[in-house]
Amino acid sequence: MRWALGLFLLGLAACGRPMTPTEVQFARDVFGPGLDTSKVVVARGAGLTPPGKTRLTKVTRVRGTERACVRVARKKGKHAPAPAFAFRNKVHFDTGLYSSDMVLEWPDALRVPNAIIFAHELTHVWQWQNRDRTGYTPFRALAESIRLVDPYIAASGQAEFFSYGYEQQAAMVEDYLCFAFANPNHPRRAELRAILAPVFPIAELDKKIGQ
């Protein structure tokens, strides 16, 4: 019985793919050496079957508008199913969101929404891999999502990064990328940079994307 369970878990772990070279570069640009990309597995859906290949398409380039990337708090009870989730070193994407390369054309363009959601979920992997520093556990993250009406909204200000919730941390990484490409002069970008820069290589990232 134990060997059967072991084979099942081994098969489940294999139902994913490693990161592509472009995805690895993306992760290094955003997170630096604090994220071990060799451990990351990318899965389609629940990860019960191999992800297979998807047709690589051109990126959707976000354009600068006043409202681009600005979050609006969700109303209580208005919770759409998450398009992706991370568990330890494995990231899962909805079938309609998953791609054979989540960050096609990086760093010349930002693939939306694939790349920014990828960054969000990789933040959770980073939290897991650095849990001695972040205190992250999947159960704490779940409790946070249940406790807060909208766990993705971070209050304005420049509090220390680790004082924010896990979803707020991931949302700030996601939002910074969005602002950097779509709305680089928005004041929220500067606010996020001040919060993220002590933790992630933001200055190097800005140089890489020419912003």
Q: Give residue 160's pLDDT band: very low, low, confident or very high (50, 70, 90).
A: very high
Q: Is 159 helix (H, G, I), strand (E, B) or coil?
A: coil
Q: Is 41 helix (H, G, I), strand (E, B) or coil?
A: strand
The residue assigned the tokens 């249940």 is: 146
> For the sheet containing 90-93, what is the strand order?
17-18, 41-44, 90-93, 84-87
Residue of 70 and 131 predicted with greater confidence: 131
Residue of 103 and 71 predicted with greater confidence: 103
Q: Is the pTM of this model over 0.75?
A: yes
Res 10: pLDDT: 45
Task: Share the mean pLDDT of the chain.
Answer: 83
Helices 21-31 and 114-129, axial angle in degrees (round to 10): 60
The residue assigned the tokens 């054309």 is: 105
The per-residue pLDDT for range 72-89, each reduced to its tens digit, is: 776 665 556 678 999 999
- Between strands 84-87 and 90-93, the pairing is antiparallel
CA atoms of 96 and 191, how far apart (whole Å): 32
Q: 157 in the Ramachandran plot: left (φ > 0), alpha (ψ -120 to 50) or beta?
A: left
Mean pLDDT for the stretch of residues 129-152: 84
Q: Where are the domains of the chain?
A: 2-72+79-209
44: tokens are 């389609």
Res 193: pLDDT: 95
- Does 3 have pLDDT greater than 80? no
Res 9: pLDDT: 43
8 A C-beta contact, residue 80 and residue 31: no
Q: Give residue 32's pLDDT band: very low, low, confident or very high (50, 70, 90).
A: very high
8 A C-beta contact, residue 173 and residue 30: yes
Q: Is residue 83 reached through a cis peptide bond, with omega within 30 degrees of 0 on the bond before it?
A: no
For residue 105, CA distances in Å to 74, 94, 110, 111, 120 come to 32, 21, 7, 8, 18
For residue 51, CA distances in Å to 42, 144, 173 come to 8, 30, 26
